[in-house]
Structure 1
Amino acid sequence: MKLVGFARNGFRHIGALEGETVRDLGTARQFFADTHAGLAADGGEIFAVDDVELAPAVPETSRIFCVGINYRSHAGESKELAGIEEPKLPMIFGRWQQTLVVDGTPVPLPPNEGLDWEVELAAVIGETIWQADEQTALKHVLGYAAFNDLSARKKQLATPQFTVGKNADFSGPISPVITSDELGDVVSNPGLRVTTHVNGQLMQDGNTRDLIHSVERIIAYITDTLTLQPGDVIATGTPGGIGAGRKPPVLLGDGDVVLVTVENVGSVQNPIVKRT
């Protein structure tokens, strides 16, 4: 099943994507209160996909846990840029749900700097998890989305703390569709191709089998300290090929269009615009 977020009567809803139509499964708050019941629900008003306003397919209360330096192909450029060694444990930082946007939403440039692209596989949690077992952690994943961790790179690298550089306004494009079909071990073996295109030019080309820390390991690591809630998002990191790592560096500017794609999961494309 593919799930899609959309706005209706001032509320965020979750729907089942069925061909060119969306079947309403209720508000995001209702759906994520019991995702098993939500997935099994019959009925629901049906809309044409073209007639709904797409929205992130997570509740407004979701938390976004991002994993830094989690591809071996990215570790070298990260060491050169920030002096950070390949992490022995998942390096977690937070994003706010308010940064999430969907396909087609213009992303404004922060003053005095460009943005950098980061294609990522995002896992959406489907149920409350505490002290997950690594061997069974994937059972708690509702589905996956494509995510672009657009970064205000100058701010990010200015200090050891990532928060401001990773939370620029509207800088978290996420595909409005969650692929809830069980991908299982495919994420690690044989893996999923992840790519970034800027103005049609391929900039990143990686595969999730290159992940340093697997999705299940990340879930187990996080939940040994805090409880994950339904609708929380784990952005699993980006491969090599970021703009700041190029020689010379390349950052997104006004008029650029960036597309990130995760094989068998989805894509999200956004124009970059000057802030007015």
Structure 2
Amino acid sequence: MKLAGVRLPGDDIVHIARLDGDTVQIVTDVARFWADARGWTAKAARLTGDAVPVASVRFAPPVPPSARVICVGLNYRAHAAEGSFEVPGYPTLFGRWTASLSVDDVPAPVPAGEPGLDWEGEVAAYVAEPLCDVDPGTALAAVLGYSTFNDLTARRAQKLTTQWTLGKNGDRSGPIGPIVTADAVGDLRDGLRIQTRVNGAVVQDGNTRDMIFGVGEVLSLISRTLTLNPGDVIATGTPDGVGYVRTPPWLLQAGDVVEVEIDRLGTLRTPIVGADGRAPRREGIA
């Protein structure tokens, strides 16, 4: 089952809806949903009645404003190697604010002063219940579902200091897809293919079975320090093939389109625009 964040016509409240092809069934508002994510998910599966056309709603990230978005860096062996990093003994964690999140087909601007944006296709996991000092098995069982995610990165800002926060929070730099419930996805260790394309050219082609730290391990580690709450999101890291390590470096420019496609989770498309919000005119297009 797929669950998406949507706004109805004339209403700025984000609702969670069951996504069925070209229609949605409204479940409840985002705050109520995450207050009882398991219960509302069960109700969503049973919904019948009048559906709303997808064309009549605006999609939104399916998370509450209070959510923490915690990202894992260097979580694929080949990606650590391509950046000349040693395989870490613990997950490298950094934070995103929910204000940086966006959805499919929303343009992402290249920040002023940046030579471009880098792509990082990955899987995001959603926490369904409070987690405090839990073991990895308990943590994994608390995952409601997964989404396609693109951790678009401003590398110049990221490398100004040893802390990555600035380069990981550009405007609309965190496009995220609908939630696919965990029962429809299975164990990431069994392997989901992650492919990232720029203007149709494949730039990343990895598999989740190559992750260093599993979702349960990461959630368990975090829960020893802070309580994870329903609606919190864990972005699980990207495979090798990022742009900044290439010779010469290859970064996303205004006019480019980046897509992340993940088995069972779907495809996430993001047009890139300039800091002024514009893409250059292409030859032959008025």
TM range (shorter): over 0.9
Measured after TM superposition, the shift of residue 59 of structure 1 is 1.4
| Cross-structure match for 1:85 | 86
The answer for unaligned runs of 5 or more in structure 1 is none
Measured after TM superposition, the shift of residue 36 of structure 1 is 1.8
Q: 1:133–1:239: structure 2 CA closer, same or farther, 3 Å change rule?
A: same
CA distance in 1, matches of 2:82, 2:26: 44
Is 2:149 the counterpart of 1:144?
no
Is 2:72 the counterpart of 1:67?
yes
CA distance in 2, matches of 1:148, 1:261: 10
Counterpart contact for 1:138–1:184, Cα < 8 Å: no
Measured after TM superposition, the shift of residue 185 of structure 1 is 5.5
TM-score between both structures, scaled by the size of structure 2: 0.91
Measured after TM superposition, the shift of residue 135 of structure 1 is 2.2
Counterpart contact for 2:243–2:249, Cα < 8 Å: yes
Measured after TM superposition, the shift of residue 127 of structure 1 is 1.2
Give 2:24's match in structure 1, choosing from 4, 22, 28: 22
- Greater shift in the superposed pair: 14-23 or 41-50: 41-50
- SS of structure 2 residue aligned to 1:165: helix
- Greater shift in the superposed pair: 17-26 or 248-257: 17-26
| Cross-structure match for 1:34 | 36
Is 2:2 the counterpart of 1:2?
yes
Which residue identity lines up with residue 2 of structure 1 in the other structure? K
Give CA-to-partner distance per residue, 1:93-148, whole Å, 9 cap, x none: 00000000101101111112110000011001111111222123221001000000
- Greater shift in the superposed pair: 16-25 or 228-237: 16-25
Measured after TM superposition, the shift of residue 86 of structure 1 is 1.7
Give CA-to-partner distance per residue, 1:152-185, whole Å, 9 cap, x none: 011112210100010111100111x110142576
CA distance in 2, matches of 1:181, 1:163: 29
Is 2:58 the counterpart of 1:53?
yes
- After superposition, where does 1:154-173 map in structure 2 within 5 Å? 154-173=156-175
- Percent identity for Structure 1 against Structure 2: 47
Which residue identity lines up with residue 171 of structure 1 in the other structure? S
Measured after TM superposition, the shift of residue 19 of structure 1 is 3.6
Measured after TM superposition, the shift of residue 24 of structure 1 is 0.8
Give CA-to-partner distance per residue, 1:159-214, whole Å, 9 cap, x none: 10100010111100111x1101425763112x000011000000000000100001
| Cross-structure match for 2:215 | 215
| Cross-structure match for 1:251 | 251
CA distance in 2, matches of 1:153, 1:19: 36
CA distance in 1, matches of 2:107, 2:181: 27
Counterpart contact for 1:24–1:44, Cα < 8 Å: no
CA distance in 1, matches of 2:94, 2:68: 11
CA distance in 1, matches of 2:135, 2:182: 21
Which residue identity lines up with residue 179 of structure 2 in the other structure? I
Counterpart contact for 2:184–2:264, Cα < 8 Å: no
| Cross-structure match for 1:153 | 155
CA distance in 1, matches of 2:195, 2:187: 17
Equivalent residues, number: 270
| Cross-structure match for 1:237 | 237
CA distance in 1, matches of 2:13, 2:51: 16
- SS of structure 2 residue aligned to 1:270: strand
Q: 1:44–1:140: structure 2 CA closer, same or farther, 3 Å change rule?
A: farther
- After superposition, where does 1:189-204 map in structure 2 within 5 Å? 189=190, 191-204=191-204
- SS of structure 2 residue aligned to 1:67: strand
- SS of structure 2 residue aligned to 1:17: strand
CA distance in 2, matches of 1:225, 1:171: 27
Which residue identity lines up with residue 61 of structure 2 in the other structure? P
Which residue identity lines up with residue 232 of structure 2 in the other structure? D
Is 2:268 the counterpart of 1:263?
no
Q: 1:184–1:129: structure 2 CA closer, same or farther, 3 Å change rule?
A: farther
Is 2:81 the counterpart of 1:76?
yes
| Cross-structure match for 2:282 | none
CA distance in 2, matches of 1:169, 1:129: 29
